[in-house]
Homo-oligomer: A and B are copies of this chain.
Amino acid sequence: MSEKLTPLEQNPEGIGYLPGLAMDFVIFGFDQYQLKILLLEYRNTNLFALPGGFVRENENMNDAARRVLSERTGLSDIYLDQFYTFGDLARYDQAPLRTIMQAKGLNPTDDHWLLRRFVSVGYYALIDFRKAAPTPDPLSDNCIWYTLENLPELMLDHKAIAQKALETLRADLDRKLGGYDSWAAPLLPKAFTMGELQKLYETILGQQLRRSSFQRKMLSLDILERLEKQYSGGAHKAPYLYQFIMDK
């Protein structure tokens, strides 16, 4: 895979990239009690955006998504899922990107590749935010975590994209909890208590859950294996530990 492509801001024809196709990323960062998302900040413009990227001509789109995600977070092998593709005409607005490019000393013509109409494939990722090393892209100045309650104004339709990602993540929690590609596995120890799993759900859902009904629902999903207790020392008072069943 070529690593020698000219950066797009200096590549007005977009040579080497699929035309008209962007990706936008809603990168959820989880800490024990908080859910945050990663935003790019553009100095001297008052503009904020979701991290984004483009697909190379010789690259699978989902591989391109992993590449961009790794560039922004320093992490590979993280939970990533497509959730929606955004193709409204109303997304087509040259003004914010022109402002951003001008603040970087660039002076793009109207038909610069970056200023054309883009359809954008939305991806969401879920990571332990203490492990990430957020890194801005060539056009942005900062890459920073924001809590969902304190998001700044975002450019274009990025707020709606973030909202739809959150709705999809919340709706998919049970269905995508089990198996090798569980969203939760990278956020939990290998063996975890029901309370740790519940805390994860509560943080993502933004609401408290009842302990008994949460436990009943989790066990009914048939994806958790309860481990035998280790009767050493005072450990018999410890809560049960669970792990995900991997042969489903």
Contacts and interface: CB of A to CB of B under 8 A. Distances in A.
Interface in A56-89: 57-62, 64, 82, 84-89
Please report whether the interface of chain A is mostly helix, strand, loop or mixed according to DSSP: mixed
A17 B87 CA distance: 13
A87 B171 CA distance: 25
A88 B89 CA distance: 25
A60 B60 CA distance: 25
Contact of A20 (B18, B84, B89, B121): B18
Contacts of A61: 85-88, 119
Contact of A62 (B18, B21, B87): B87
A18 B85 contact: no
Interface string A192-223: 00000000000000000000000000000000
Copies per assembly: 2
Given A82-B84, A82-B85, A85-B85, A21 B58 contact: no
Nearest to A64: B87
A136 interface: no
A112 interface: no
A26 to B, nearest CB: 15
Contacts of A62: 87-88
Contacts of A121: 85, 87, 119
Interface in A80-139: 82, 84-90, 117, 119, 121
A59 B21 CA distance: 16
Given A18-B20, A21-B21, A58 B89 contact: yes
Nearest to A55: B87
A108 B121 CA distance: 30
A61 B88 CA distance: 6
Given A18-B117, A58-B89, A85-B85, 7 more contacts: A18-B119, A19-B19, A21-B21, A60-B90, A61-B85, A61-B119, A62-B87
Q: What are the 5 A-B residue pairs with the smallest beta carbon separation, nearest first?
A: A61-B87, A19-B19, A85-B85, A60-B88, A85-B121
